Amino acid sequence: MILIASAWIFVLLVGGGVALDRVLTTAITRNFDEQLDYLLTSMIVSAELGPGGEVVLNRELADQRFLEPGSGAYWQISGNGFDPFPSRSLWDRRLRVNQRHDDRELHIYDSDEFVDKTPRKDRDPNDPNNQMLRVAERDLKLPGSPIRWKFQVAQSRDGLDAQIATLRRTLVRSFVLLGLGLIVMVGLQTWYGLLPLRKVRSEIARLRAGKAKRIEDRMPAEIAPMVEELNALVEHNDRQAEEARRHAGNLAHALKTPLSVIMNAAAAGQEDLAPTIIREARTMRRQIDHHLARARAVGRRGSAHSRAHVWPSIEAVERAVGRLYPNVRLDVDGQKDLIAHIERQDLDDLLGNLVENAAKYGGGSVFVTARVEAGFVEILVEDDGTGIPEADRIRIFDRGVRLDSGKPGTGLGLAIVRDVAEIYDGTVSLEESEDLGGLLVRLRLPAAS
């Protein structure tokens, strides 16, 4: 952040300094040129023809420097057929004249005609005659004279260059100080602005070391939401870890009894050892399947992008159950654009368990309805069977509980449905179907926008 800000400050200051230098240099040069133009106009106004047709001035120009040789201020009037009429400051020198150049309008330019052409190391820096000139000239004809006269006023650029050099030194020093001040300010602002993040880092280190369970320090309003989300994430991970430990303990406890039965039967040398092993292995397999289903659901729940289109899942389950139970009539109805906050595989497992149970234990007709209700997707699975007594509708969700032992099953279907639905903040409940007279299972899952 500091490097990027410093680079941007440098670019802006350089660009602004160059632009400001051009504006101020142009203004100073324009002011210098306006003085030359004023002097040239004063000289033209004072000019008149002499007895011999030459040009003379009826009054001297006010600037005293025109009377001092080598002063850096000069004027000259030139015309074809006449010797140049110079100021006393020119002494034995003359300004360069280009009569072929028509300067009816004001013409201002730089001239090196008074610059010493010897090598720089051999020049005398204090020589007043070694000057770079700024010349203003104009051509005109005086009344009564057919000759085009060239009026010239020249001044040494030393004063102008000195002003520009002073201006540039001031600009450079000011902009360097401004840049250093801005960079220091950016550094302090960055250090101070990121200070809370360093506090968060130290708090996270305390969390990892087990010295704290959450970040308790008050933070600035800018990062307080991030700290709140971080605390929520820590609590979420703690809940998941506790849930994982609890289910690992439940699985270990569920497997302990079948294993004890197998070990006791093997140690006693029972004759029905093989059927005992098969029976207890099935029990262990049911428990493992149940806990694996929960583990998959818990692992996928963390994704904020869990979305499943309900209608394609219902159609897929309808086709699968239709092949398993060809004699069962299966009808579906409802909104076809519903999206639930759940993974597609988990939704297929939930609907598969519910619809298969309805087809297995019903009287031959199953009706599935999908709709949205108060921010939840509701899926109703109804059958025309004998239903479940109200007293057993809570107990049926316990693992391994089966009310009809005459048909194959593990007794874990509804338990898995309840657990997976709760993982996604959903619910499942059992009611009596008013239309078919059998069981109605109401599955509610959060709707995804």
pLDDT in tens, the chain (449 residues): 889 999 999 999 999 999 999 999 999 999 999 999 999 999 998 888 888 888 888 888 878 888 888 888 999 999 888 889 999 988 888 888 887 777 888 999 998 888 766 665 555 555 656 788 999 999 998 888 888 889 999 999 988 999 999 999 999 999 999 999 999 999 999 888 888 888 888 888 888 888 888 888 788 888 888 888 888 888 888 877 777 777 677 677 667 777 887 888 888 877 778 888 888 887 788 777 766 766 666 655 544 567 889 999 999 999 999 888 899 999 999 999 999 988 888 888 889 889 998 998 888 899 999 999 888 999 999 999 888 887 777 777 665 444 444 444 433 467 778 888 888 889 998 988 888 888 899 999 999 87
Cα 370 from Cα 314, distance rounded (Å) = 9
Which of these, 443, 270, 318, 276, lies nearest to 372 by C-alpha position? 443
- Between vectors from CA 358 to CA 345 and to CA 391, what angle results, nearest 5°? 110
Task: From 320, 324, 376, 323, select the one nearest 352 (Cα to Cα).
Answer: 320
The tokens 């520009």 sit on which residue?
A: 164
What class has domain 308-446? alpha beta
Q: CA 263 → CA 248, 256, 273, 280, distances in Å?
A: 22, 10, 10, 11
Spatial CA neighbour of 334 closest among 299, 390, 382: 382
The answer to pTM > 0.75 is no
CA atoms of 160 and 121, how far apart (whole Å): 24
**What are the extents of the domains in the chain?**
2-171, 224-301, 308-446
What are the beta bridge partners of residue 332? 368
What distances in angstroms separate CA 416 from CA 5, 189, 295, 405, one per listed residue? 57, 55, 11, 18
Residue 448 is given by DSSP the state P
Residues in the chain: 449
The CATH label, of 1.10.10, 3.40.630, 3.30.450, 3.40.1130, for the domain at 2-171 is 3.30.450
Conformational region of residue 411, where left means phi above 0, alpha means psi within -120 to 50, and beta covers everything else: left
